[in-house]
Structure 1
Amino acid sequence: MFTPAQAATVLQVRESWLRRRAAERRVPCTFLGKHLRFSRADLEAIVAEAQRPPAVAHPRTRRSAAPPRQS
């Protein structure tokens, strides 16, 4: 089991980023009482999720300038 500081070093991310994601339950983790810990499998899952290709972005359409108002 890794502490947040150790896990952040292995993942090459900031500890604050990892703690925030864990608190939001956006990354796999384990709470042993009040202590946050990461298993090797948790770290591998975080890396696998990061390697997933990004979702396809929908192309943004450009708006043309509005025609001048006629009075």
Structure 2
Amino acid sequence: MPQPPLPDWYGEDGAPVACTEKIKVMRENMGELFQAAQDAFEDALLMGCAEQQVRDYLAQLVRGVDNPYR
């Protein structure tokens, strides 16, 4: 499955992130994240792990990401 299309990015104030360099970094970061998750998912399936359990854990990982800038 290819990476889902990227959204338009917005700041906390609702204003669009318009800086070309920032959008480029987001595109690269999300692409790397997707590929790492895809690789880990495929490895888990090849090792016999239950698909839904792996999906649930990947979602839990994302929910656990901390915002250090609050």
> If you compute each CA radius of gyration, which structure gives the higher value, 1 or 2?
1
- TM-score, shorter chain, exceeding 0.5: no
The TM-score, its normalising length taken from structure 2, stands at 0.32
Which of the pair is proportionally richer in strand?
Answer: 1
Which of the pair is proportionally richer in helix?
Answer: 2
